[in-house]
Amino acid sequence: MKIIKQWDENDTKYIRSKLIEYNQKNIPEDMRKEFEEVSFVLRNDDNDIVGGIVGTYYWKCLHINFFWIDDTVRGSGFGTKLLKEMENFAVEKKCRLIKLDTFSFQAPEFYRKQGYEVFATLNGYPSEKDSRFYYVKWLM
């Protein structure tokens, strides 16, 4: 046997599929097929994307992967509206929780105002002066 340092997309897909296969064996049967990627996009009058939120639904949980609002519309309520759309999706899917993470230079206060709670903090990352916050919002 040998360990090889390399990046190969097919290897990555294989490893991911094997982990999913393993995980599926260890969760209740009725939850095994629950998986959906979802996004909501904000477009301006010129049809340019000026914001969006991307998430993954699985195991009665919605994980927010990416959430971005262009500076031209930041602070005008569209972030709250996009997040609310994602939360409504989670409620429709009967999610127990929504989880996400953000950096100190992004929008930690925004999430607190929306009812999210910090459950973990990683101080000194990505730089010594920054932190990464892990949030959860319990729906049930």
Q: How far apart are the first and last CA of the chain?
A: 47
Closest CA to 112 of 136, 77, 86, 138: 136
pTM: 0.87
Q: What is the model's pLDDT at position 33?
A: 80
Q: What is the model's pLDDT at position 30?
A: 82
Contacts of 77-81 spanning 24+ positions with Cβ under 8 A: 78/42, 78/50, 78/51, 79/51, 79/107, 79/110, 80/114, 81/42
Tell me the domain boundaries of the chain.
31-138
> What is the CATH number assigned to the segment(s) 31-138?
3.40.630.30
Specify the residue for token string 């990627």: 37
What confidence tens digit (pLDDT) does each residue in 52-92 have?
999 999 999 999 999 999 999 999 999 999 999 999 999 99
Specify which residues 134 forms β-bridges with.
Answer: 101, 120
